[in-house]
Structure 1
């Protein structure tokens, strides 16, 4: 009898219509992945015949399509899209881990990066950055509150690049003429003490007999004499203008501990050029986070009010050997399953992981034209199964009414 075959067709095509309808309903859902049902035929032996008879259709599996959706620029700093493989790893309030392609994130009241459902985006924070990704338990919710303030750093290295000039008419590349002795080049630079307070020091270079004299002294009138920097360094060059005296000089200071001057100096002859001195130092005052950006590899780069740019966090991606076996959950996320394989965490753009695009979202990969066609086909199949059931019902009524 064909009743069961018709019923199986009705149920299978009803499920198919549900799946297609869900695809169409989520055509505008960010990061949504469309699904397709896989069917199988049912075959059985009839008790009154040796022939194999088809007994209907069943649903074997729902296949998820993880092809990339189109990337759309939004301009929001916390909108993220993924090109190729990978998922954002998020954590709900109960500690359960989920995975998503929806990169719509925002900051909650505690400055955690969360998705629209309030799940925490996981990664590593500023003070926990490391290269060990083997232990997934080290990943934690990314919290920008930890990076709101960049503490001051005391200056311990001053770098000096100097291009010194002596009179080209001089017969000796070291002594020069008496006029060279008055040739003075002075530069100021601001350095920072252990409390982040600035102090301006001056560095001057003059020409003496058989050597050049570099002087360092502080200009801060608030410091006592024993706190001020007052240092003299004698520079000597060979006949080719290369520095032969020590290039790394410790500077004595009561306030600045372990302060050194690293020099790269050259001496050359010229008639018209002036001395050039370039100074830099590695200290800075305290600064507040004013903005941040997310790079293609997931690094979060903060810009501070003290003009410093620092890495303040890292977003990682997760991927699976068989992502089609991930379990869909409400909220446009998936949960891990044994069939999907082990979770592999990595840096975006590295070792087969996709790259991260900021200020961009991945749209749904639903093809509406295709889904509408699938809907028509599923509807026709459902109607055909219903007609078969109706025909079988008429045959049964005929048999019942035989007298």
Structure 2
């Protein structure tokens, strides 16, 4: 190898160190870029030609032809997570990428979770690309990837279909035949227009041990179908008292469980589990379509009650006990609600987007998708903190956060740049020294050539 060849070898060093400085400069300038992954230059030596001449069977005679940058690798390590005040800001803790779609349909992959709502209700990134996920349609999460759209319309009202009440009636009122006040409990239920109604139950201890009478009313409305009549001996009185409408007599056993119920001739049906249902119908003043029919169930011990799925029917389950404790409602739930507007959004670690509405309803609107790649280092950077797939990366595998090796999502959070400033400063000094040394080789070769030319001259 001659002096001129040596100069070209040194020139390759200048080029390689210059590229390395570009990579280092890119890392440092993106120190505050959300989701940025620092890169590093990977060097490789140029094929070294074999010198002709004497054969050496122990060592080869290859002085080398210089260096080149073989690749610039992105280091997809986990960045630090910083809290933010935006509920839509997302950070991935673990592997994977958020997927966003541009208006022309192209998909991009990013770790930058700076997101917001646009005027149409889409969740978009800073380049107005729509976040991808699985939407909730008719109560089911769809398997097809699509833009995540937050509904801007009012959630319609839902008529109450199921009311559950767990109630204890004081055993001291009937077992000891003490004078006691009636126990009254009320439930707020909703019709199909979202109008609230008051469903009230009155429980009355009788002079028969373990026996209670009950009567139910709703906003004072009269029954148009069903209803019965019961008579019972009141405590401390000789004259029986009669109740009509949604009424019954409940008999408890010695363990405080419901033994039997007499609905006073109300229409009854028995379901597949042997549970008795008392059927009533009433008319609402607001002309709502539902609820107009009541299905009252007072199960005995061990009976299984199925939830009601029939529109226009409100099933009231009264789970009753009679223990020696003050009469009280232990638990109560109902599944109806009035109309409501979206108040708040929250995204869980599992990617579920939950909307909270002004009527107290919480609804899963969709699930954020996470894309994983067999070789994330093969992704092609297109700027704007985004990547596209390539032959080297392989095709994306979409799924929910926390599944299939994908990372979890952190809301109100952003992943910071992985640039290690201290390391970059050391790498910069090393690259500068390499550049300086390569330049010195060229200067030395130039001196040698000058000496040669002088001697010849």
Same fold (TM > 0.5): yes
Counterpart of 1:159 in structure 2 is 164
How far the C-alpha of 1:33 sits from its partner, in A, is 0.4
Q: Is the 8 A contact 1:248 1:261 kept in 2?
A: no
Question: Aligned ranges for residues 212-223 of structure 1 at < 5 Å?
Answer: 212-219=212-219
Output one character per residue of 1:94-143: Cα deviation in whole Å (capped at 9) or x when no partner.
1111111111111111121111111111112332775675xxxx111111
C-alpha contact (below 8 Å) 2:190/2:337 kept by paired residues: yes
- The structural deviation recorded for 1:383 is 1.9
Cα distance change on mapping 1:191 and 1:228 into 2, 3 Å: farther
1:124 aligns with 2:134: yes
> 2:136–2:142: 8 Å Cα contact kept in structure 1?
no
The SS at the match of 1:366 is coil
Counterparts of 1:316-331 in structure 2 under 5 Å?
A: 316-331=369-384
TM-superposed CA distance for 1:375, in Å, is 1.1
Aligned match of 2:285: none
1:2-17 equivalences under 5 Å are: 2-17=6-21
Deviation per CA, 1:301-340: give whole Å up to 9, x if none: 2211111222222112222222111111210011112322
Q: CA RMSD in A?
A: 2.5
TM-score normalised by structure 1 residue count? 0.88
Residues 348-389 of structure 1: CA deviation (Å, up to 9, x unaligned): 233422222221111101011110111111112112212222
1:297-336 → structure 2 map (5 Å cutoff): 297-336=350-389
The residue number in structure 2 matching 1:380 is 433
Query: For residues 136-285 of structure 1, what are the structure 2 equivalents within 5 Å?
Result: 138-144=144-150, 146=151, 148-167=153-172, 173=175, 177=177, 179=178, 183-208=181-206, 209=208, 211-219=211-219, 226=224, 230-245=245-260, 249-254=277-282, 255-256=290-291, 257-268=312-323, 270=324, 273-277=325-329, 278-285=331-338
SS of 1:376's partner is helix
Instruction: Determine if contact 1:126/1:147 at 8 Å carries over to the other structure.
Output: no
Question: Is the 1:217–1:228 Cα contact (8 Å) retained in structure 2?
Answer: no
- CA deviations on 1:55-112 (whole Å, 9 max, x unpaired) are 0112211121111121111222122212221211111111111111111111111121
Structure-2 change in CA distance of 1:125 and 1:147 (3 Å): farther
TM-score for both structures, normalised by structure 2: 0.78
Aligned residues: 386
Deviation at 1:9, TM superposition (A): 1.0
**Stretches of structure 2 lacking an aligned partner (at least 5 in a row):** 56-60, 228-244, 262-274, 283-289, 292-311
- Say if 1:114 and 1:121, in contact at 8 Å, map to a contact too: yes
Find the aligned partners of 1:248 and 1:103 in 2 and give their Cα distance. Answer: 55
| Greater C-alpha radius of gyration | 2
Deviates further, 149-158 or 233-242? 233-242
Kept in 2: contact 1:252–1:259 (CA 8 A) = no
What is the Cα deviation at residue 167 of structure 1? 2.8
* CA contact 2:13–2:438 (8 Å) conserved in 1: yes
Deviations 1:235-271 (A, max 9, x none): 2222222113377634422542222111211112x4x
